[in-house]
Chain A
Amino acid sequence: MLTKLLSGDTPRSPVLAVLLIGILVCLALAPFLFPGVRSVDTAARICIFIVLVASYDLMLGYGGIVSFAHTMFFGIGAYGVALACTHLGRGFDALLVGSVAGALVAATLAFVIGLFSLRVRAIFFAMITLAVASAVAVLVSQLSAITGGEDGLNYRIPRELTPAFKFADGQILGARLNGKLLNYYLIFGSTLLIFLLLLRIVHSPFGRVLQAIRENDFRAEAIGYRVVYYRVAVTCISAAAAALAGSLYAIWLRYVGPDTTLSLEIMIDVLLMVVIGGMGTMYGAVIGATIFVLAQNYLQALMSVASDALTGLPVLPELISADRWLLWLGVLFILSVYFFPTGIVGRLRQRRR
């Protein structure tokens, strides 16, 4: 039953199994294990990035397609919800309409870009996605009448998903029983569902064709698979999943803006998360997103504590002062890519052999 749910893809490494179960339990019980606005916010971000990174892995790790437009699809989903909430009013129907519309628009756009560029060579696709993504980012910040421009949009989501809504009095293990808790579980549940769905796609007959194309597209075509159709299809699925991640982000933040959803910086983060976790493994998305988001949120604080503890010593406190956190994040990545070229998941599975 469990194997079926995981589509037969067991972790195949005891360390990985422990890590994944640990992450699952921590995320599932985050509001109770780590009560506090900041920590729950981090947990929600991890969930959202798991979806975003897994959808990117489907395209890159399984389809062998490099895209720089993944944050654009993420942004389309986020703006879908934002616009629906702004214009349709406050309600769950607006969330649903916005999410579905965002996913459809993202898939359609991916279809058009893919059909034009994937016919030729995969590198053209990468370049065209970069161009389109930049164009969309500029467009969104220019069309301020619709998108709010650089300021972005603030909107209201159903009351049941906000802190103002209390469905019971008191607290359980420090967690307030309010709408924000429900919102978190909406995000967590959706993440779990989308992730398992992507895992299933990877292990379906379609997923096998993708692997065949990644291995040898020439032969895949010769045994009867129209490579371009499969590449376009996986791009559309991946775009739709990224848009759903964006919708979740918009529901969680109650705000969208170009910086939080469309910037190229997020694109690079996603790329790093896939590489650190392990390309073409799906579970790499879980590991990569968790480590990255945790580092982003807590490395600075951790370093300032360490720096304070070392006051009085020469050079050291300066070196690990909180202002240098980006430097150390960079060092961390270089080391991880150097020591785990196949990603953490790839490395852990290798050891088993």
Chain B
Amino acid sequence: MSHPILETRDLSVRFGGHVAVDRISCTFRTGELTAIVGPNGAGKTTYFNLISGQIAASAGSVVLNGRNITRMPVAQRTHLGIGRAFQLTNLFPNLNVLENVRLVIQSKAGRGFNMLSMASDHDDLTMPAEEIVERVRLTGHAHQPVSELSHGNQRKLEVALLIALDPLVYMFDEPTAGMSVDEAPVVLDLIAELKARKDRTILLVEHKMDVIRTLADRIIVLHNGALAADGEPAEVMASDVVRDAYMGRELEDG
């Protein structure tokens, strides 16, 4: 029923002598939500950076829909269907909330080089942007510059940008980090909604075990840059590997 959409083959990156990501081979399927766990410094965010292209791989490859995208620039990967929300909020601070989202919709519509019309006249871009701002409950802040938003609201906008992009592969890097207990459900509900659509692939780096338990179809565990475990949540969580990885002890083997 579901077919593989994204695959990493022996994907590795070295910084000097340090191997940050070590020959990770993994396949991700449409409709599946994979949680990526591991202790700090295990290489989760670096693995994400390799897939979305912020860092160039030292070896191995990334394949999207049968196409090798390992050497492609970030923007091109985005247009092919890789979308990323960042761990550290990464927005356009002096533009307002609506404009942040509108820029994403404009990018998708391929109108970035339109120079002679007024941006405010493109209602077909503004309307969907307003809708998305509404979905993350930021309508009241739509015309406020991002730099004036609370941390929690900035996190919501971070997720909103990804929802606006609506890529084939959604990559969330600790989407609820630093959010209050009232705010986190807004984001988690959106992720659950995406998952229910069954036509998108979701990769989620997350530390909170309760979140993983409710959302994940599958868990992969990274440790010292390598793939330490991969399987159904119940199975992986019961295994010693996860416990050991989180305790920070050295793994004996694989």
Contact = CB atoms under 8 A, between A and B. Distances in A.
Contacts of B119: 203-205, 207-208
A227 B75 contact: yes
Interface in A219-239: 219-227, 230, 233, 237
A4 B102 CA distance: 21
Contact of A205 (B78, B90, B112): B112
A8 B78 CA distance: 31
Interface stretch (A210-218, A300-308, A340-348): A210-218
B178 interface: no
B52 A219 contact: no
A211 B93 CA distance: 11
Contacts of B114: 204-206
Contact of A204 (B91, B95, B108, B117): B117
B118 A221 contact: no
A342 B114 CA distance: 29
B165 A219 contact: no
Given A224-B79, A224-B165, A218 B90 contact: yes
Contacts of B95: 211-212, 215
Chain B interface: which size bin? Answer: 35 or more
B75 A215 contact: no
A209 interface: yes
A197 to B, nearest CB: 8
A200 B117 CA distance: 7
A219 B90 contact: yes
Given A203-B118, A226-B75, A208 B106 contact: yes
A206 B112 contact: yes
A294 interface: no
B74 interface: yes
B122 interface: yes
Interface in B90-127: 90-95, 99, 102-104, 106-108, 111-120, 122, 125
Contacts of A223: 78, 103-104, 107, 161, 165
B73 interface: yes
Contacts of B78: 221-224
A132 interface: no
- Most chain A Cβ neighbours within 10 Å, of B86, B94, B108, B113: B113
A201 interface: yes
B73 A221 contact: yes
B112 A209 contact: yes
A206 B161 contact: no
Closest 5 CB pairs of A and B: A224-B107, A224-B78, A215-B92, A206-B115, A205-B114
Given A221-B74, A230-B112, 19 more contacts: A201-B115, A203-B118, A204-B117, A205-B113, A206-B113, A207-B115, A208-B119, A209-B103, A211-B95, A212-B92, A218-B90, A222-B86, A223-B161, A224-B75, A224-B104, A224-B108, A225-B75, A225-B112, A233-B113
